[in-house]
């Protein structure tokens, strides 16, 4: 069993597709928050009405890991990333049109 076969699982792709946007969001917060707490930063994003933009920006790196999994012929992991990316897209639409 090769390394790509060992890690070619939908659960690995889903986990990486879920965690990467959270990590990107945390990095954006760390580099741009100044002296604000995380709660204050989120309230400022909500007040500025850019929450959907912020979520979309954080989800964009999923394209990169999808392409990496696809290039390495890890199609099950790529399917997991794609599924979680659809989840994030539904979340963005729900926030945009329901809130």
- Is residue 73 left, alpha or beta, with left meaning phi > 0 and alpha meaning psi from -120 to 50? left
pLDDT above 90 coverage of the chain, percent = 87
- For helices 10-32 and 51-59, the axis angle rounded to 10 degrees is 130
Which domain, by its residues, includes 83?
3-98
Specify burial of residue 77 (Cβ count, 10 A radius: 0-12, 13-18, 19+): buried
- Count of structural domains, the chain: 1
In order of 31, 80, 89, the CA distances from 51 in angstroms are 17, 25, 13
Amino acid 33: pLDDT: 82
- For residue 3, pLDDT over 90 is answered with no
pLDDT mean across residues, the chain: 92
- For residue 94, pLDDT over 80 is answered with yes
- Higher pLDDT pick, 66 / 2: 66
**Residue whose structure tokens are 């979520």:** 55
Q: pTM, whole model, 2 decimals?
A: 0.87
């Amino acid at each position: 069993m090769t390394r790509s076969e060992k890690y070619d699982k939908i659960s690995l792709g889903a986990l990486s597709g879920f965690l990467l946007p959270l990590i990107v969001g945390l990095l954006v917060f760390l580099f741009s928050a100044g002296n604000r707490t995380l709660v204050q930063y989120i309230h400022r994003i909500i007040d500025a009405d850019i929450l959907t933009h912020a979520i979309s920006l954080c989800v964009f790196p999923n394209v990169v890991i999808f392409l990496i999994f696809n290039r390495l012929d890890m199609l099950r992991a790529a399917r997991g990333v794609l599924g979680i990316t659809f989840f994030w897209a539904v979340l963005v639409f729900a926030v945009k049109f329901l809130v």
